Structure 1
Amino acid sequence: MDELIRTIVEPLVEFPEDIKVSREENERGLTYILSVNKEDMGKIIGKKGRIASAIRTIVHAAGRAHQQDVQLTIQE
Structure 2
Amino acid sequence: MPQSAPADFQKLVTFLVAPFLESPDSLRIDCEVRTNRKKVLVRMAFEGEDKGRVFGRGGRNVQAIRTILQGVGKLSGYDVYLEVFGSPAGGRDQEASGRHRSSRPERRSRPSRPRPRN
- Aligned-residue Cα RMSD (Å) equals 1.4
Structure 2 unaligned residues grouped into runs of 5+: 1-8, 87-118
More helix by share: 1
Higher RCO (Cα < 8 Å, 6 or more apart): 1
Q: Which runs of 4+ in 1 moved over 6 A?
A: none
User: Which is richer in strand?
Assistant: 1
Q: Name the structure 1 match of 2:55.
A: 45
Larger Rg computed on CA atoms: 2
Counterpart position of 1:55:
65
Alignment check: 8 A CA contact 2:38 2:77 kept: no
Alpha-carbon offset, residue 24 of structure 1? 3.1
Aligned counterpart for 1:36 among listed residues 14, 29, 46: 46
In structure 2, the residue matched to 1:72 is: 82
Can you give the 5+ residue segments of structure 1 that lack an aligned partner in the other structure?
none
The size of the alignment, in residue pairs, is 76
In structure 1, the partner of 2:32 is 24
